[in-house]
Chain A
Amino acid sequence: MVLALEQVGVAFGGFRALTEVSLAIPPGQVTGLIGPNGAGKTTCVNTLSGFQRPGSGRVLLDGADISALPAHRMRRAGIARTFQAGRLFGGLDVLDNLACTGVGLGQRRAEAEHAAQDLLDWMGIAALASRPAAGLPYTDERRVAIARALMGAPRFLLLDEPAAGMSEHEAADLAALIRRIAGERGIGCLLIEHNVGLVLSVCAQVVVLDGGRVIETGDRAAILASRPVREAYFGADQAEAA
């Protein structure tokens, strides 16, 4: 069970957002995706989740080409994602936000509510169940968005900058949660983050994008030792000096 991009290219008009990008997300572990602003990280997530059709190359799920599936079919196939903006249903309470997803995935209402309650329990946020989503504090909103993405037991979870705007402490809590999602639920996670420290602390493998190309793939040590990565992040001169 692997979710992968194979030689994927995406262009917007004349701008090449992704060029020959290949990466693989194995089950049960967290794969990191980092890169400077505009490197193509969100385009990668969009392509992996059916929001963006690849211009060339393929999106593969267990070896099958799923490039042409629309987003809701990808979700049914087991690929869930979160959004930078959260995008909860503000007027619905937290439980209904989750239950609605279960229902959308084909569960009966009671079934969906039961699953939603279990999930909130598992994440330790059962107390939020009857709160309207619109009034949630930022970190809770993020956790509810992750809980919603976990409805229907997806096999892959794509997290688009889940720690943006969080304190060190909050980010550490989030890291623990992501480890549990991969470890206890066997879900293959892709973590996109600006917080490189968080990514290196959680991820078994890290993919580094720059200018729409993969410039490095490897474990923590390999990324830290990589010269192209240092150049991308600090510019050639500083990398020279380091």
Chain B
Amino acid sequence: MSLQLLFDALSLGGIYAIAALGIALIFGVMQLVNFAHGQFIACAVFALILPSSQAVAELGLGRLPTPLLIPVILGFGAALALLAEAAVFRPLRNAAPVALMVASFALGVALQNLLLVIYGSRPKAVSLWAGLGHPVQIGGAQVPLLQLLVIGAVALILAGLALMLKHSRIGLEMRAAAQDFGMARLLGVRANRVISGAFALSGALAAVVALVMVAQTGVADVRMGGQIMLIAFIATVLGGMGSLAGAVAAGFAIGAASALLQMALPAEARPFRDAFLYGLVILVLLFRPQGLFAPAGAKPRV
């Protein structure tokens, strides 16, 4: 039972963490909360299927063999984010943060409507990787194979990202830019490269979330981006805006709290789980308004 809870918490939290990272990466380098991130996820979901008005979707890109499908969808997410950066955010580079935020909202609405026009508003059943629903016995727990794969993939992604940020050239530039973008620029760090890199990574992470969501729920729904975006945004706030480690930790914390509430709440209260969850978030923010892991650079020096 408790082992089952652990796996639930890890797989749910892992997805929240990956989604939150996508937002924190961009916030770190340009102080932009990209509210279009949820729609990046939705676009990557719909990229898997062919446009039709049927209730059961026909796979398009999703038909590719898995070793090809994963890089293609990740590349699609990265390309979409890069395109959004070049078309929308780069011209606004020197605009006020609020203008950038509003632009990201607008972009999100535009993408959502684009999906509605092409695919219609009806949620569609998608069967991607149907074999992964099979349960696996671990200890006393029955764990779906997909859940194990998700946990493994999240661990790999986080480790890879940590290594990249710590040891690669672009990683160092991104960390410096997240601390003090103006100073990094003055020292010669190429702003366009760092920002493009952050957007590409963020888009690829959105695609990861999309793949997992489709495989888990078996549904492609235009609204799914908004829901995950809300949780991811809350995780970045809770983690301390701009702190990557904080976003990941808060993503896992929200996943764990969700899984715990699901188990601990009496059956009648379970439909209101999210109300309890967000109530908890408000409580935490009352005591730590700067987030749980505010970056050192965010504290004004005396």
> Which residues of A are in contact with B by a Cβ distance under 8 Å?
71-72, 75-76, 87, 89-92, 96-97, 99-101, 103-106, 108-109, 132, 134, 148
Contacts and interface: CB of A to CB of B under 8 A. Distances in A.
Contacts of B179: 89-92
Shortest 10 CB-CB contacts between residues of A and residues of B: A104-B188, A89-B179, A104-B189, A104-B187, A100-B176, A109-B169, A134-B296, A90-B296, A101-B187, A91-B296
B175 interface: yes
B180 A103 contact: no
A87 B180 CA distance: 8
A72 B296 contact: no
B148 interface: no
B103 interface: no
B185 interface: yes
A76 B188 contact: yes
A92 B188 contact: no
A238 to B, nearest CB: 36
22 contacts: A72-B185, A72-B186, A72-B188, A75-B186, A75-B188, A76-B188, A87-B183, A89-B184, A89-B297, A90-B296, A91-B178, A91-B179, A100-B172, A100-B184, A100-B187, A101-B188, A103-B169, A104-B173, A104-B184, A104-B189, A104-B190, A109-B172
A149 B124 CA distance: 58
B187 A92 contact: no
A103 B173 contact: yes
B167 interface: yes
DSSP majority for the A interface? helix
B168 interface: yes
Query: Taking each of A99, A103, A108, A148, which has the highest tally of chain B beta carbons within 10 Å of its own beta carbon?
Result: A103
A72 B188 CA distance: 5
Interface of B: 167-169, 172-173, 175-176, 178-180, 183-190, 295-297
Contacts of A89: 175-176, 179-180, 183-184, 297
B247 to A, nearest CB: 14
A101 B180 CA distance: 13
A178 B168 CA distance: 33
A100 B297 contact: no
B296 A132 contact: yes
B172 A99 contact: yes
Given A96-B175, A108-B169, 19 more contacts: A72-B187, A75-B187, A76-B188, A89-B175, A89-B176, A99-B172, A100-B184, A101-B188, A103-B172, A103-B173, A103-B189, A104-B173, A104-B187, A104-B188, A104-B189, A105-B188, A109-B167, A109-B172, A132-B296
Contacts of A76: 188
B185 A92 contact: no
Contacts of B297: 89-91, 134
B29 to A, nearest CB: 13
B182 to A, nearest CB: 9
Contacts of A104: 173, 184, 187-190
Nearest to A111: B169
A12 B61 CA distance: 59
Contacts of B189: 100, 103-104
Given A91-B179, A92-B179, A134-B296, A71 B186 contact: yes
Given A72-B187, A101-B187, A91 B175 contact: yes
Contacts of A101: 187-188
B28 to A, nearest CB: 10
A71 B185 CA distance: 9
Nearest to A71: B186
Nearest to B179: A89
B242 to A, nearest CB: 10
Nearest to B190: A104
A97 B297 CA distance: 13
Nearest to B180: A89
A148 B180 CA distance: 15
Contacts of A92: 175-176, 179
B186 A100 contact: no
B222 to A, nearest CB: 38
Contacts of A87: 180, 183
A104 B177 CA distance: 11
A95 B190 CA distance: 20
Nearest to B166: A96
A87 B179 CA distance: 10
Query: Taking each of B167, B176, B190, which has the highest tally of chain A beta carbons within 10 Å of its own beta carbon?
Result: B176
A148 B186 CA distance: 12
Contacts of B190: 104
